[in-house]
């Protein structure tokens, strides 16, 4: 795209600016709250934007890490996330490749079919699954989440990967095969290395699907020490009418900001996979 002259950008800023403020304001507000002392939080004079009575402070964050199980929930989330991402990649990378390259028309249809499974929401499945989890004795165990989450990460990732693999020029594979490499070998030493950015994109987005999941986590797990951030903060840090607002806001910001940075970093790849995917 041609670089615009400065004045032609003014309408862009006039539209994008307000949207950005509207969408980001809650996070700004969370940050402000996280930095305030209890006294300052309820000080009407400085309610929205002032800082006084000992603010800014890091006490809320210290409280979070020393007096609550927050660290535990972060670790749990990471453990489940990593395990699910590994399972997802092992299954979805070969499938995505095969659907994009090795199969004809039925591959396209099957690809769309697998993707549509992603639209079957946990809302329809959590009741029978919570019983199955209980029968398997997996209640209150992280294993229950590792078992169930691939049900939505695999369809999503397979479909996105299919999009990425389609954007790789066929000539590369042909060249490798002319050189005598087997199909499997071509896959491992030619295709995977150049698809790495696409695979990383899938890693990030499926990891964040895991962090986001709420309904399974809340139905399968009631023991505090096995909770993930999504459920732990709400169910454990809010006790009756006592709200530790500062700590709560810090707890929500800590996982959100890094995720948003990663999203922004990989957004163009995501778009590339999306447009190359089942809808093309």
Partner 1 sequence: MGVAAHVEPRIRRRRSLLEQRRFLAPALIAPAVLLVLLLVGGPLILSVYLSFTNATGGSLSGDFVGFDNFTSEWGDRNFQTALRNTIFFTVAVNVLVVVGAAVLSHFLVREFRGRWFLRFLILLPWAAPVALSTIGFLWIFDSLFSVINWVLVHASLVDQFNPPQWLGDRENAMAAIISVHAWRLLPFATVIMIAGLASIPTEVNDAAKVDGATGLKKLWYVTLPLQLPIALIAVLFGIVFTATDMAVVYILTRGGPFNSTQVLPMWAFATGVQSGDLGAGAAVALYLLPVLALVTVLMLYFAKRVEVS
- Find out whether 209 and 110 touch, Cβ atoms under 8 Å: no
CB of 138 to partner 1, least distance (A): 14
* CB-nearer residue toward partner 1: 131 or 197: 131
Dihedral (Cα; 20, 255, 258, 213), 10-degree rounding: -80
The reply on whether position 189 binds partner 1 by CB under 8 A is: yes
- Give kind and range of the element (H or E) at residue 5: none
- Find out whether 8 and 230 touch, Cβ atoms under 8 Å: no
Pick the stretch among 52-60, 64-72, 195-203, 256-264 that binds partner 1 (CB under 8 A): 256-264
CB of 67 to partner 1, least distance (A): 18
The reply on whether position 47 binds partner 1 by CB under 8 A is: yes
Interface characters, 82-111, with partner 1 (x: CB under 8 A): --------xxx-xx-xxx--xx---x--x-
Interface characters, 108-127, with partner 1 (x: CB under 8 A): --x-x-x-xx-xxxxxxxxx
* CB-nearer residue toward partner 1: 67 or 268: 268
Q: Report in angstroms the alpha-carbon separations of 55 from 2, 31, 41, 107.
A: 47, 12, 9, 59
d(CA 250, CA 116): 36
- Applying CB under 8 A, the site for partner 1 has a residue count of 112
Q: Which of 76, 144, 186, 226 binds partner 1 (CB under 8 A)?
A: 186
Structure tokens belonging to residue 15: 């539209």
């Amino acid at each position: 795209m041609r670089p615009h002259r400065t004045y032609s950008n003014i309408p862009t800023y006039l539209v994008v600016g307000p949207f950005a403020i509207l969408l980001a304001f809650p996070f700004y507000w969370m940050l402000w709250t996280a930095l305030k002392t209890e006294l300052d939080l309820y000080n009407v004079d400085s309610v929205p934007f002032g800082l006084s009575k000992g603010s800014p402070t890091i006490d809320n964050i210290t409280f979070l890490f020393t007096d609550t199980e927050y660290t535990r929930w972060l670790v749990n989330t990471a453990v489940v996330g990593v395990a699910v991402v590994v399972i997802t990649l092992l299954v979805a990378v070969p499938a995505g490749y095969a659907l994009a390259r090795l199969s004809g028309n039925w591959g396209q249809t099957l690809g769309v079919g697998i993707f549509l499974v992603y639209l079957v929401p946990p809302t329809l499945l959590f009741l029978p699954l919570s019983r199955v989890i209980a029968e398997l004795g997996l209640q209150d165990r992280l294993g229950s989440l590792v078992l169930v989450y691939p049900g939505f990460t695999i369809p999503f990732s397979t479909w996105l990967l299919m999009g990425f693999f389609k954007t790789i020029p066929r000539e590369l594979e042909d060249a490798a095969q002319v050189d005598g490499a087997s199909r499997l070998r071509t896959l491992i030493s030619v295709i995977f290395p150049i698809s790495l950015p696409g695979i990383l994109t899938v890693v990030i987005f499926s990891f964040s699907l895991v962090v986001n999941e709420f309904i399974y986590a809340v139905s399968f797990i009631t023991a505090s020490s096995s909770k993930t951030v999504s459920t732990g903060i709400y169910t454990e840090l809010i006790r009756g009418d006592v709200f530790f607002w500062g700590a709560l806001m810090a707890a929500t910001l800590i996982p959100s900001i890094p995720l948003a940075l990663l999203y922004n970093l990989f957004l163009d790849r995501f778009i590339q996979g999306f447009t190359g995917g089942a809808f093309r």
